[in-house]
Structure 1
Amino acid sequence: MSRILFFARSAKYTLGLPQGFRELRHPVFVLRDLSKKSLEEAVDRFRPDLLITTGWTYREHKRKHVDELVKKVAKYQIKHLYWATEDPRWTKECSLRSMQILKPDAVLTIHPESVSTYRRLGIPAGHLDFGCNPEFNRAEPLRPEYVYDVALVGNGGKAWKSYRKDSVEILLKPLVERGYHLAIWGSRWDRFNEELMGFKIPKQMIKGKLPYEETNKVYNSAKIIIGLQNDQGMLTSRTFEVLGAGGFLLTVPTQAVNNLFKNHVHLICSSSPENTVTLVNYFLKDAQARQEVAQNGQEEVYLHHTYKERAGQILQFLQLSADRIMKD
């Protein structure tokens, strides 16, 4: 029975993997903030067997406290796994910088093609998707303030250099231009680059930032949820979260989407702006069809893509890595 120290501040992470390890009966300590007191409690007293760090964690805290955590991990010989959740867009600035500062023993990345990047550095590496937590990503009564025909939860791009730009052009642009009853939550939409993207978003559609704890309510209240994708080879966290909530997900047919889900069974995929309009018009009129797809999607992620499943995959990966080291 491994004792798990999970170091993350955002609820996006703390409401995910920790629950999966708890369901596997592993003691879990969630470390959200760093201080002398919290480090003593989390490391010296809890005495974890495994530390898991994620994403941009290193820059969310004072460097001296991060360095102290790294020292304690080395002192007690705690296994350290880094989950690279910002690949491939921010591999250099985030993931590789985390390698330098946090000094993990192994890496799991959400982007399969990035695995080789870490292996070339001599670091044991593998692939781990996001998932859903049925304790949080679940059906709940709709909230009037979140009732829209179409909703998007996700941040706007900065330079729009990834496939996210294509997703916006296919899924969002045609609906905005036609004035659908649509709401957008997330950062940077108020600074949307209209010239680069080729369309303007009316101010009334932009709702600002949304606490992660509120996202599940949106997924249960809006009729259709737009799911942007950032890359052909990986899935966003919201893909699993929307489906886990029992939301009706409209996304794009990337390789990663097609690998894990069936179009018109678990979710709906659009390959063009015209296709998006056709699909949205059809499913807004057919509540029963929406419900059938949403239910199928929820059943699929509950069966194969929960954080309990992901926690098991982490433990299996670490065991396989340890076995290889022993053989070498």
Structure 2
Amino acid sequence: MPVSRYLTIADELKRRITTGELPPGAKVPSTRKIAAEWGVAMATAAKALAALSQEGLVRAEPRSGTVVTGAPKAQSAPRATAAPRSRAGRAPELTRERVVRAAIVTADAEGLGALSMRGVAARLAVAPMALYKHVASKEELVVLMADAAYGERGYPASPPEGWRARLELSARTMWSLYRRHPWLAQLAPITRPMPLPNLATHAEFILSALDGHGLGAAKMCDLHVLLFSYVQGVAIHLEREQQAAGSSGLSEDDWMDAQAPALETITGDGRFPTFARMLNTLAAEGYDLVLDNLFELGLKALLDGIDLSG
């Protein structure tokens, strides 16, 4: 009987792990790279990674992709080709919550562009049609994912005193969610907000901080949208960097090194003296563009500029 293609891929990746070619902590090729290397569908690539995950050889980490947990033990368990079994011998019941969680794990590791119903089914080791008993379409699945992700963090029953402290708390709470789920910031423009109960929780906290200061409804709405769009606007670059690293194979430093000749051409003709001086100083002193630091700098500037006088 011919060996399934995904098992062949899983065996090769397992060999790389066993020989130390992929040591613990190393990033495993993404589903997109596996699909390109072996000439298979994304769902087949996802199924291969799922098989390794079920053996405990790899795990999905947000913003890092799938990484090696360790080499297989000498007496490893047989390869899992179906969903994990309970002690009673039955596979865990497939529920909407399990489908949504598997989809979130996929998007965290591979990005929203790699999400597919077939890929999620492969991760759960079920037939793709089984998912449609719980979600009508990929579009509905993404909405459910977003609502679940926004619901992972809430607010204290006794919030901090003062509107500024509350807005800071809300902004950092949303930032932490985008940090955990980089794809979340990509979903919808601020002009077309998603009607999600768990997203409304964050809106309510922001608006309650602005309430009671004599603001009109329009200004309250504008300030809420301004704060939310600021956090989302910075967070968009989390997944974009993840996508750029995955498609190019270059780290941020590698990419900047590759741009050096073009930058030298721009800064060397004397037309942009301030820009050139800044780049030369940063190169001499050492500088990394850290989005967390940029977020904090912008948040302070934004809150400093808010006027609640009505």
* TM-score normalized by the length of structure 2: 0.28
More strand by share: 1
Return the TM-score normalized by structure 1: 0.27
Larger Rg: 2
> Using CA pairs below 8 Å that are at least 6 residues apart, which structure has the higher relative contact order?
1
Q: Which has the higher helix share?
A: 2
